[in-house]
């Protein structure tokens, strides 16, 4: 005599529910009976499915003579949940902007700290500065002993402008002298050197092309 298959129980419903969740696709009672390898009869599976429908855990839909079953999908969030999510998103965005601002400030502080010389480098720079300062102090003392007077930047600029004006006049007069000398040499039997010696000409001690202040 064939062994009678067990009727549905709570564990049977759990098996069917887990099966539908695992496959996540619609199945008919016949297909479920086949996939479960005859563990339950088609009738017992149908009863278990009806109980799952009553418990609002699965849904069924009829297509002609066939009835298919699928696990009930989770409901979408309601308006209250959407508002809560929007509020959370706004808060998170504000927090993100705050953190970005703090990060920029820290990066600026880090860059400033990196620009400051390290202790060993600072000691070396200090020694060099003290040595340069001592040298300048010595030069100032020598200037004072020799009576050398330092001039301001404005006075130096005024002297430079005056020097430039005089050098321009010097150039004009040299060119005029050369033109006159050239005209004289055209009608004179003397050589240029003889004429210059005759008129006791003395050239400038500093060539025009040379900076007189460089001496």
Q: Can you say how many angstroms the Cα of residue 4 is from the centroid of all Cα atoms in its chain?
A: 76
Structural contact between residues 171 and 163, judged by C-beta atoms closer than 8 angstroms: no
The CATH number of domain 10-71, selected from 3.90.1150.10, 3.40.80.10, 1.10.10.10, 3.40.50.1000: 1.10.10.10
pLDDT of residue 7: 46
pLDDT at 190 over 60: yes
* Tens-digit pLDDT profile for residues 71-98: 877 655 555 666 777 777 778 788 888 8
* Tens-digit pLDDT profile for residues 5-23: 444 456 777 888 888 888 8
Question: Where does residue 58 rank: exposed (0-12), middle (13-18), buried (19+ CB within 10 A)?
Answer: buried
pTM of the model: 0.33
> CA 183, 171, 211 angle in degrees (round to 5)?
140
| Number of neighbouring beta carbons within 10 Å of residue 27 | 20
How are strands ordered across the β-sheet holding 58-63? 27-28, 66-71, 58-63
pLDDT at 163 over 80: yes
Cα 110 to Cα 76: distance, rounded to the nearest angstrom: 47
Q: What is the mean pLDDT of residues 109-114?
A: 88
Strand-strand pairing, 58-63 and 27-28: unpaired
Cα 167 to Cα 21: distance, rounded to the nearest angstrom: 103
pLDDT at 105 over 90: yes
pLDDT of residue 133: 92
């Amino acid at each position: 005599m064939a062994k009678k298959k067990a009727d549905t129980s709570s564990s049977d419903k759990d098996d069917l529910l887990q099966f539908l969740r695992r496959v996540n696709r619609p199945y008919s009672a016949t297909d479920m009976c086949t996939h479960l390898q005859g563990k339950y009869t088609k009738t017992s599976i149908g009863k278990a499915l009806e109980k799952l429908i009553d418990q609002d855990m699965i849904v069924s839909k009829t297509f002609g003579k066939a009835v298919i079953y699928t696990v009930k999908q989770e409901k979408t969030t309601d308006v209250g949940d959407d508002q809560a999510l929007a509020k959370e998103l706004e808060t998170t965005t504000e927090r993100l902007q705050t953190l970005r601002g703090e990060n920029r400030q820290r990066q600026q502080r880090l860059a400033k700290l990196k620009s400051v010389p390290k202790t060993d480098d600072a000691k070396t720079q200090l020694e060099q500065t003290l040595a340069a300062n001592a040298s300048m102090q010595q030069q100032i003392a020598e200037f004072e002993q020799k009576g050398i007077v330092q001039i301001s930047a404005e006075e130096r600029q005024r002297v430079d402008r005056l020097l430039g004006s005089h050098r321009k006049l010097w150039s004009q007069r040299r060119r005029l002298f050369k033109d006159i000398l050239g005209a004289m040499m055209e009608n004179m039997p003397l050589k240029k050197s003889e004429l210059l010696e005759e008129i006791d000409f003395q050239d400038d001690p500093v060539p025009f092309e040379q900076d007189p202040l460089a001496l």
